[in-house]
């Protein structure tokens, strides 16, 4: 762009910087654009470092602004294998859904009803686009790598960053392909994942619960959760509490903290801190189930109701 073009258009915007960065990374490929109420998702057929389709949001960052922005802005990316015809829309739909979640490298999100065997995403810095240092400030391209089948559960048992590294070792560029078998289906990887989770435990300190109601009177607590939150507690019992690590369920102002380091319970109107020695972890594994029911614990002043 020449100086007279810049004078006519005014200062370069964040959007200009993002477009230029994408043009360089895609060898100037034309974009297919999907629109979602003020957010765009652009799709590009690219050949390097291997043939695939790149999807990138346009509008998570302040694309209309020409002013420098403090901190690091974000755009989200997703990459899928090459398909015949136009780029499929489902990856754009997934990015549009993720755009308002404030995702960053190391974050993860489940997919309730994805295509094929897709069950979630783990986020890393995009391996090609990385960080853009523009006059409008830093922009990180956060890459959502698809997880299939039991990938998501196995990631939660272990560590999202380490799981993403293993995914990159075995899936070129970490492409999201709903037809891909989970990593545990590959020879030797199930044993490797089991060993890593067993030896290292889980790095997940807390999970957002779909339902979490805490009713405590200072002496005992009744905590109502949904089936997924019950499964999160069971996972935490095995892969965190037995390793001496705390775990919390959170929803809005309500929270339940199981803490191996706590000496006394702290039971309030919308929260409960419960000491969690190994005996509590073993009791959870023996008693609790994700099926609807009421589960009264003997090793803690806690009753769990799954509904």
> Domains plus CATH for the chain?
3-199 (no CATH), 206-306 (3.30.1360.230)
Q: Structure tokens of 238?
A: 């095995």
Q: What is the pLDDT along the chain (307 residues), one digit of tens a residue?
A: 433 344 335 679 999 999 999 999 999 999 999 999 989 999 999 999 999 999 999 999 999 999 999 999 999 999 999 988 899 999 999 999 999 999 999 999 999 877 999 999 999 999 999 999 999 999 999 999 999 999 999 999 999 999 999 999 999 999 999 999 999 999 999 999 999 999 999 999 999 999 999 998 878 999 999 999 999 999 999 999 999 999 999 999 999 999 999 999 999 889 999 999 999 999 999 999 999 999 999 999 999 999 9
The long-range contacts involving 219-223, CB below 8 angstroms and separated by at least 24 positions, are 219/267, 219/301, 220/267, 220/301, 220/302, 220/303, 221/256, 221/265, 221/267, 221/272, 221/274, 221/301, 221/302, 221/303, 222/303, 222/305, 223/256, 223/272, 223/302, 223/303, 223/304, 223/305
Q: Structure tokens of 187?
A: 């020879």
List % helix, strand, coil for the chain (3-state, nearest 5): 30, 30, 40
pTM: 0.91
């Amino acid at each position: 762009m020449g100086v007279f073009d810049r004078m006519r258009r005014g200062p370069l915007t964040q959007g200009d910087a993002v477009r230029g960065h994408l043009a360089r990374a895609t060898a100037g490929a034309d974009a297919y654009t999907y629109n979602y109420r003020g957010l765009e998702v652009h799709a590009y057929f690219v050949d390097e470092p291997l043939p695939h389709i790149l999807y990138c949001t346009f509008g998570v960052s302040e694309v209309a602004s020409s002013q420098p922005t403090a901190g690091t802005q974000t755009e989200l990316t997703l990459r899928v294998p090459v398909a015949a015809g136009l780029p499929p829309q489902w990856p754009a739909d997934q990015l549009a859904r993720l755009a308002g979640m404030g995702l960053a490298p190391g974050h993860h999100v489940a997919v309730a009803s994805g295509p094929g065997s897709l069950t979630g995403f783990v986020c890393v810095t995009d391996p090609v686009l990385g960080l853009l240092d523009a006059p409008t400030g830093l922009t990180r391209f956060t890459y959502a790598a698809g997880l299939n089948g039991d990938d998501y559960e196995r990631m939660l048992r272990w560590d999202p960053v380490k799981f993403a590294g293993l995914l990159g070792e075995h899936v070129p560029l970490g492409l999201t392909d709903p037809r891909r078998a989970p990593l545990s289906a590959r020879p030797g990887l199930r044993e490797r994942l089991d060993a890593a989770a067993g030896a290292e435990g889980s790095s997940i300190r807390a999970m957002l619960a779909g339902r979490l109601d805490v009713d405590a009177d200072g002496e005992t607590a009744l905590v109502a959760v949904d089936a997924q939150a019950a499964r999160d507690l069971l996972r935490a019992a095995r892969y965190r509490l037995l390793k001496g690590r705390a775990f919390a369920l959170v929803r809005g102002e309500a929270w339940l903290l199981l803490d191996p380091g706590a000496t006394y319970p702290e039971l309030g109107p919308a929260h409960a801190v419960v000491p969690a020695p190994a005996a509590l972890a073993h009791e959870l594994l023996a008693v609790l189930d994700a099926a609807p029911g009421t589960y009264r614990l003997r090793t803690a002043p806690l009753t769990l109701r799954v509904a």
